[in-house]
A and B are shown apart, each in its own frame.
Chain A
């Protein structure tokens, strides 16, 4: 009765204070307090429970299983033998046994002192714990849109960076490589682009540390899991950094009681892959040029140099990783070292990386847990790479080498003499052979990253924890470019040496107070936090000239040629609040708020507020659905929230740049027109999702989203008359809406043979909704105009060749007096009308199909990714497919379905070829091509050694695998690779280094 009186006291007290007469609230509060007391009173008796946890199927002991007293934060975990001991305060407590990959089990103690438990592998992934923004959650409790991938999901493809492992794996995530060059970066977009000028890359957060918008460069071997946060509810806490989604990366950590050494080795070959593209050989080029070039003679046929063959090779890629994980009650550690080396399929380029990581977790006291993460990498490139430009533009009629094997260059005496003695000329442009200088000149670079993070969790009491995370990341880079005095480009300066040093530093700190309380069926998690991060970078470079051949120190140069350098800083801070509530794991709600400030904005617009709210319902837990046998899971969630995007600059400031000089005195030129009122891009997003699992065989996830990006910041081109190229403005509003569907059927599920499949499909539609003063503007080949996709292409529309005379035809649109438009055709490029082409530079559909077949100890996986509904401007064709414009460049062979106009009446895609061209190779929709593709991204066959062999060899696990990347690509794209080389907003394809085909073999052994 004592506590009932207390309740009355409190009730009256509250009543008096808030003078509320809402009975409902009073009841709730009463109930809440009531439960608090229940908890307090029940904790009277204590008991020690011990036992063993085994795998339900194999009956092997399970180390590292977490055991928690339900409703408290008391807990323990099993040791290497699967044993645990746990002190509990009440005899009728309920223990929750959970382990990643297994179904959680709840066992009431009922006064027992020994409890042995068998855990069964999880058929539903809903009980898995996943990492989310600033914490973890059970999948079943997730209310936002987030997808977790573990290392097995990721590490099928063989790549040097984490980002490129993502393609096709997650619905709504589009990852495309910028180049096939070893070590090249990958561009990721999540749920379409929502910014006109700011970054459209997601934010990377590694072990809770905000790393920025580019792949932080961890070795794929050290990744435990990855979570992709897609909607505002999942990302809101990252505020201004979150508009493009967030990728959370967790590095591996050790579990208590284990002690394991793993060795992984992979070795393979890469080949240059030109896809649908090929340039002409000697005969083909002759047959083509003789139709329009009066100067071409049959003499050219004596030579047929394959410049591509000269420039390419079978590249080699290799990776070796050794890691140790182990620990005891006091400390666990994960230590890992990786060596990666890849030489390009294009000769003369080598990328090498050494990386190491140490993750330590120290249980200093019962209450204090200290975490230390140290990681670092050192990478180098050696660049004496052959020229992609040359290997396709050079003429097959020119010989690359003299008979004695040295380089034939028409600029040097040996070459001149050879050509003149043999009565030959050099047909190619610029009369040079890039191979000559390539003998002497080279570049190299090195970069090292060091990251140190020290943090701790201090448990103030059962429900309150203080966490601190403090990180510093440092990058040092150096690059040099050596030009030999013997090379032709080094001739004028008698050899040059360019060196550049760069440094950057990111500091990050987060202090958080975390509240975690269960009362009966109510679970409340909350935190408040403060976070600050700042960035500094600087670099300096110098070039000296006059150098003795082969010496590469700046002090050996005779004369200074130039100096350069720059510095940059930025800072952000935010206050964060997050509340997460669950009732009986059935009803879920989350709300978060952050107030964030950024140095990117002027003093009056420096801070912004970001928030989100979401709810979820685990319907399958409802009693009325308990009887539905075929329904394993049914969950519905909905969220909304607002996040931001802040470009990293001083766009608000009107300033002069002091980077020029006149006659040696500092000269200032107007650089930026100020706009003190510019502010955050605000992205409001709405998401609703259904997750189900049916017949214990098929998981289906469907997300619908609507993303409204307002206040879009963009660099609006200004007429030159203003004295500036443009101005930063908040110009408008863009929406992205779409759906993401993920279906994972376990098609065959027998004891020996399994076939699992996952199909990801994402649809996105982008639309410019509003624009400042309705002023459409054109950037490159795209135009930002209300009602259109923001990547809508805007060009002269190509109409093929005029059947009568072979002249090029473009559309000309004239507006009539009554407002209607008449479309006619013109052969005058200048007269043709710029218009929307009806295509866009971002895909409508993206996705992947992942298949995994398991037969006894064999596993075969095949990962297919696809992109549909994207057009790209194939700018290379301005050169290679130019109807006679450039007699001294090689040309590409016609793609399927193309034909040249030859005689009146021909209906042709290509106009009449003419020496010097007919202006038909000017920028128009002629070279705008469908860049959709389906690619067999990876296929892997692995064999796991059976247990009896393993025990004989005293190994805990061992497997061998063979895998192939990019073996098949289906596309209409006439260039080499539809995925590569999209640069900037107009999706122009300039680069020419396609993704290589790779074939790898590997071994993984665990001791």
Chain B
């Protein structure tokens, strides 16, 4: 039993020598270690891309640019805060906008860190730094478009967003909002540096368009100048990209399946944020999930608006019809659909459908007895109209289609332009810039500088590819700018451009078509570019954390 004493002695000695209690996290590295070598710098740089890709940024970014436009119509009310982005019933507590604000600044500060820590010198590191300048500019560009009034409206007076270029921002001493102009100046400076820094090096050739590049910077510069109204520069940079011959428009059926391609295989993409199969599949919560239910994945609540479909239907051969997927029912039932004015609120509309049967070449429907659908030919297209029906009193054009299921009275026109990459229902690599936009940027710049033939030439490139008639002249009843913007709307729909395209051109958002934006006590069916609601509220949480942020009215 004497051994017990030595045993106790050992235990006591053990206690006195005491154990090591230092531990480290397993999935994280301290900032110092990350920036200690080029590998770490590369990982941190890719981190900025990861921040761009994350749903925290990408989803509300898409919601804001697209759901605030007129290409879409929601088919019900939803608890999701996207509802208030869509119907302009803005609240300062919108979670998406807080996510968007912080998503942008996280990306910006991470870019700042890499720019600060990486040493310029080798073409490779220069390129990495250039990428950070590009991404930073992209984030600022979104910030200023979401929370700052359009550049056309007194940019040196109107407030934009705070500019932060520090790697380690001092939480107690953060800048207030800069003016819209100051933010644009910062964007121009970043993009110009980016283009220069990235001019001498390419990441892997085959993956050129899924990272920022010299041409991606030029492409974004073209858009930024266009937004600023500097049409000469907008044209210049668009031309640079087009002339670089790095990209070519997809044609034929390739174009029709463009969302299903990975960006690397898509010659038209200048820069897209690459989503990997499985890894980056957000499923129901991908923004494509709002547009379509595919193989049971997705909410399928936000449909192509009637006004967009009207525009598209002007040319039945338009290849862009492929991006809209009407959910026709099986079988051979047909129906006619029209929208009528609801009395209140003024301008709001609702759909009415009648089943039709083909009686020896004539379509008939039942409204207080059997009635027929009349036809007329306009510009080679057959148009259908009726004169009798619920809530109408005069000649009303109708759409004749196979019978469609409805969601709360709204026929399901799924949009599949943001889905189906590599056959995965809601996988998609969001496109930041593509060649078609360059032609449209240039067309708009040319239109605004009076170069009619140049503008039409560019528009025709797009129309030809879409398999529709080209213009030889500006059609009567339309201005050249209207022609360009109409084409831009058709081509860039569901790519988060539309809202900005309306307001930066001083136009009025016209929502007088069916959709649940007419719900609620005070719906906004038209939003002029001067409306306070053209810009969103700064998220309340951010003002609480940073009181020197001035709220938008």
Cross-chain contact A923 with B93 (CB below 8 angstroms) = yes
B43 is contacted by which of A650, A667, A914, A916 (Cβ under 8 Å)? A667
Does A917 sit within 8 A of B, measured CB to CB?
yes
Known: A653-B30, A662-B49, A721-B162. A603 touches B22 (CB 8 A): yes
User: Contact mask B283-312 → A, CB, 8 Å, 1/0?
Assistant: 000000000011111010000000000000
Task: Give the docked Cα–Cα distance between A886 and B301 (Å).
Answer: 14
Task: Give the docked Cα–Cα distance between A886 and B21 (Å).
Answer: 55
Q: Which of B40, B210, B408 has the most CB of A within 10 A?
A: B408
Known: A655-B31, A662-B274, A670-B113. A914 touches B521 (CB 8 A): yes
Cross-chain contact A654 with B30 (CB below 8 angstroms) = yes
Cross-chain contact A829 with B91 (CB below 8 angstroms) = yes
User: Contact mask A484-524 → B, CB, 8 Å, 1/0?
Assistant: 00011111100000000000000000010100000000000
Number of residues in A with C-beta < 8 Å to the partner?
Answer: 95
Chain B residues whose CB sits within 8 angstroms of the CB of A368 once the complex forms: 1, 4
Task: Give the docked Cα–Cα distance between A192 and B174 (Å).
Answer: 36
Task: Give the docked Cα–Cα distance between A919 and B405 (Å).
Answer: 30
Please, which residue of chain B has its CB at the minimum distance from the CB of A411? B296
Among A708-731, those with CB < 8 Å from B are 717-725, 727
Cross-chain contact A656 with B44 (CB below 8 angstroms) = yes
Does B110 sit within 8 A of A, measured CB to CB?
yes
Does A45 sit within 8 A of B, measured CB to CB?
no
Cross-chain contact B19 with A777 (CB below 8 angstroms) = no
What is the distance, in angstroms, from A154's C-beta to the closest C-beta of chain B? 35
Does A878 sit within 8 A of B, measured CB to CB?
yes
Does B106 sit within 8 A of A, measured CB to CB?
yes
Chain A residues whose CB sits within 8 angstroms of the CB of B21 once the complex forms: 532, 534, 571-573, 597-599, 606
Does B372 sit within 8 A of A, measured CB to CB?
no
What is the distance, in angstroms, from A744's C-beta to the closest C-beta of chain B? 43
Cross-chain contact A885 with B295 (CB below 8 angstroms) = no
What is the distance, in angstroms, from B124's C-beta to the closest C-beta of chain A? 14
Does B366 sit within 8 A of A, measured CB to CB?
no
Among A558-600, those with CB < 8 Å from B are 560-562, 566-573, 575, 597-599
Cross-chain contact B276 with A664 (CB below 8 angstroms) = yes
Cross-chain contact B19 with A668 (CB below 8 angstroms) = no
Chain B residues whose CB sits within 8 angstroms of the CB of A603 once the complex forms: 22
Among B403-429, those with CB < 8 Å from A are 405-409, 424-425
Task: Give the docked Cα–Cα distance between A724 and B18 (Å).
Answer: 37
Does B51 sit within 8 A of A, measured CB to CB?
yes
Chain B residues whose CB sits within 8 angstroms of the CB of A275 once the complex forms: none
A917 is contacted by which of B26, B424, B519 (Cβ under 8 Å)? B519
Among A913-943, those with CB < 8 Å from B are 914-919, 922-923
Known: A657-B28, A667-B46, A669-B110. A718 touches B520 (CB 8 A): no
Among B1-32, those with CB < 8 Å from A are 1, 4, 8, 11-12, 14-16, 18-31
Cross-chain contact B76 with A658 (CB below 8 angstroms) = no
Q: Which of B46, B104, B299, B546 has the most CB of A within 10 A?
A: B46
Known: A655-B29, A879-B79, A887-B408. A717 touches B541 (CB 8 A): yes
Does B279 sit within 8 A of A, measured CB to CB?
yes
Task: Give the docked Cα–Cα distance between A638 and B523 (Å).
Answer: 66
Does B164 sit within 8 A of A, measured CB to CB?
yes
Does A429 sit within 8 A of B, measured CB to CB?
yes
Cross-chain contact B14 with A914 (CB below 8 angstroms) = no
Among B74-94, those with CB < 8 Å from A are 76-79, 87, 89-93
Cross-chain contact A922 with B91 (CB below 8 angstroms) = yes
Cross-chain contact A431 with B91 (CB below 8 angstroms) = no
User: Contact mask B94-130 → A, CB, 8 Å, 1/0?
Assistant: 0000000110111011101100000000000000000
Task: Give the docked Cα–Cα distance between A671 and B113 (Å).
Answer: 13
Does B545 sit within 8 A of A, measured CB to CB?
yes
Please, which residue of chain B has its CB at the minimum distance from the CB of A917? B520
Task: Give the docked Cα–Cα distance between A719 and B543 (Å).
Answer: 8
What is the distance, in angstroms, from B71's C-beta to the closest C-beta of chain A? 21
Chain B residues whose CB sits within 8 angstroms of the CB of A458 once the complex forms: 4, 8
Cross-chain contact B171 with A722 (CB below 8 angstroms) = yes
Chain A residues whose CB sits within 8 angstroms of the CB of B279 once the complex forms: 562, 661, 664
Task: Give the docked Cα–Cα distance between A103 and B5 (Å).
Answer: 38
Known: A532-B19, A599-B22. A491 touches B295 (CB 8 A): yes
A719 is contacted by which of B15, B54, B174, B409 (Cβ under 8 Å)? B174
Chain A residues whose CB sits within 8 angstroms of the CB of B12 once the complex forms: 511, 513, 530
Classify chain B's interface size: 35 or more
Please, which residue of chain A has its CB at the minimum distance from the CB of B175? A721
User: Contact mask A520-562 → B, CB, 8 Å, 1/0?
Assistant: 0000000000101010000000000000000000000000111
Cross-chain contact A718 with B171 (CB below 8 angstroms) = yes
Does A666 sit within 8 A of B, measured CB to CB?
yes
Cross-chain contact A722 with B174 (CB below 8 angstroms) = yes
Among A349-404, those with CB < 8 Å from B are 365, 367-368
Task: Give the docked Cα–Cα distance between A511 and B12 (Å).
Answer: 7
Cross-chain contact A919 with B546 (CB below 8 angstroms) = no
Task: Give the docked Cα–Cα distance between A445 and B299 (Å).
Answer: 29
Does B227 sit within 8 A of A, measured CB to CB?
no
Cross-chain contact B47 with A667 (CB below 8 angstroms) = yes
Known: A660-B47, A718-B545. A670 touches B109 (CB 8 A): yes
Among B442-500, those with CB < 8 Å from A are none
What is the distance, in angstroms, from B274's C-beta to the closest C-beta of chain A? 5
Cross-chain contact A530 with B18 (CB below 8 angstroms) = yes
Chain B residues whose CB sits within 8 angstroms of the CB of A573 once the complex forms: 18-19, 21
Cross-chain contact A720 with B31 (CB below 8 angstroms) = no
What is the distance, in angstroms, from B2's C-beta to the closest C-beta of chain A? 12
Cross-chain contact B11 with A468 (CB below 8 angstroms) = yes
Chain B residues whose CB sits within 8 angstroms of the CB of A283 once the complex forms: none
What is the distance, in angstroms, from A395's C-beta to the closest C-beta of chain B? 12
Chain B residues whose CB sits within 8 angstroms of the CB of A886 once the complex forms: 77-79
Chain A residues whose CB sits within 8 angstroms of the CB of B523 once the complex forms: 916
Task: Give the docked Cα–Cα distance between A365 and B42 (Å).
Answer: 66
Known: A665-B46, A667-B46, A886-B79. A599 touches B19 (CB 8 A): no
Does B506 sit within 8 A of A, measured CB to CB?
no
Chain B residues whose CB sits within 8 angstroms of the CB of A490 once the complex forms: 296
Chain B residues whose CB sits within 8 angstroms of the CB of A859 once the complex forms: none
Cross-chain contact A919 with B110 (CB below 8 angstroms) = no
Known: A599-B21, A662-B274. A654 touches B31 (CB 8 A): yes
Does A663 sit within 8 A of B, measured CB to CB?
yes
What is the distance, in angstroms, from B178's C-beta to the closest C-beta of chain A? 12
What is the distance, in angstroms, from A182's C-beta to the closest C-beta of chain B? 29
Does A310 sit within 8 A of B, measured CB to CB?
no
Please, which residue of chain A has its CB at the minimum distance from the CB of B518? A916
B164 is contacted by which of A561, A718, A721, A778 (Cβ under 8 Å)? A721
Task: Give the docked Cα–Cα distance between A698 and B116 (Å).
Answer: 73
What is the distance, in angstroms, from A386's C-beta to the closest C-beta of chain B? 20
Please, which residue of chain B has its CB at the minimum distance from the CB of A489? B296
Chain B residues whose CB sits within 8 angstroms of the CB of A661 once the complex forms: 46, 50, 276, 279
Does A608 sit within 8 A of B, measured CB to CB?
no
Task: Give the docked Cα–Cα distance between A532 and B329 (Å).
Answer: 69
Interface residues of B (CB under 8 A from A): 1, 4, 8, 11-12, 14-16, 18-31, 34, 40, 42-44, 46-47, 49-51, 53-54, 76-79, 87, 89-93, 101-102, 104-106, 108-110, 112-113, 162, 164, 169, 171-172, 174-175, 207, 210-211, 274, 276, 278-279, 293-297, 299, 329, 405-409, 424-425, 516, 518-521, 523, 537, 540-542, 544-546, 549
List 20 A-B residue pairs with CB atoms under 8 Å apart, sorted by A's residue number: A295-B409, A367-B1, A368-B1, A368-B4, A571-B19, A573-B19, A653-B28, A659-B27, A660-B46, A662-B49, A662-B50, A663-B207, A664-B279, A668-B34, A668-B44, A674-B31, A720-B106, A721-B174, A834-B544, A887-B408
- Smallest CB-CB A-B distances: 3 pairs: A916-B519, A723-B109, A530-B15
Interface residues of A (CB under 8 A from B): 295, 365, 367-368, 411, 416, 420, 425, 429-431, 458, 466, 468, 487-492, 511, 513, 530, 532, 534, 560-562, 566-573, 575, 597-599, 603, 606, 650, 653-672, 674, 717-725, 727, 773, 777-778, 807, 829-830, 834, 878-879, 885-888, 914-919, 922-923
